[in-house]
């Protein structure tokens, strides 16, 4: 079976995109563990309602780290795969 250059490039792009997606999903669990540790009572104490405004803002930024990471991983993987098919 003869495969053209464009279809070969598309398959390589698809494989690399899936690799980026898998690596990103593998890193979610360690990141989640670090976020849980940082939000705990020994670090930022985010569950305490009497913390300063600066600590509240830091807790908010730490909470948004994981969703942003997931969006970036899906964007990178999807962009890589889409770029090879276009």
- The predicted-structure confidence for 55-86, as pLDDT tens digits, reads as follows 999 999 999 999 999 999 999 888 888 887 76
pLDDT confidence of residue 17: 86
> CA angle at residue 18 from 26 to 35, to 5 degrees?
25
pLDDT confidence of residue 1: 60
Of 29, 35, 28, 66, the C-alpha closest to 44 is: 35
Mean pLDDT of 1-9: 73
- The predicted-structure confidence for 17-63, as pLDDT tens digits, reads as follows 889 889 999 999 999 999 999 999 899 988 988 999 999 999 999 99
pLDDT confidence of residue 22: 93
């Amino acid at each position: 079976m003869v495969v053209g250059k464009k279809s070969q490039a598309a398959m390589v792009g698809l494989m690399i995109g899936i690799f980026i997606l898998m690596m990103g999903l593998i890193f979610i669990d360690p990141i989640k563990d670090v976020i849980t540790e940082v939000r705990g009572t020994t670090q930022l104490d985010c569950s305490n309602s009497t913390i300063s405004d600066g600590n509240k803002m830091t807790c908010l930024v730490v909470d948004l780290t994981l969703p942003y990471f997931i969006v970036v991983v899906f964007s990178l993987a999807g962009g890589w795969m889409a770029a090879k098919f276009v």
